[in-house]
Amino acid sequence: MHCDDKRTLIILKENIISNFNELKEKDFEDKIILKKLNDSIAEYKELKSEVNA
């Protein structure tokens, strides 16, 4: 795993946590934040699988 990959994964993980916390504050009813969370998780999983391949 390259340093850049690790950094990107860390940033994506932080985005996931931040989006989740925002969504929790809005009682999970904000569709825009829900989409951001979903996209962040998908991107994280994709990069993680590429790095581990």
What integer pLDDT is reported at residue 3 of this predicted model? 79
Quick check: helix, strand or coil at residue 19?
helix
**pTM reported for the whole predicted model:** 0.84
pLDDT at 5: 86
Contact 36, 19 (CB under 8 A): yes
Q: State the helix-helix crossing angle for 3-25 and 31-52, rounded to 10 degrees.
A: 160
Assess contact for 43 and 12: CB atoms under 8 A. yes
Whether the predicted pLDDT of 1 surpasses 80:
no
State pLDDT tens for residues 3-53: 788 899 999 999 999 999 999 999 999 999 999 999 999 999 999 998 886
Show the domain range for 32.
3-52
How much is the pLDDT for 27?
95
25 vs 1 pLDDT, higher one: 25
Indicate the number of domains in the chain. Answer: 1
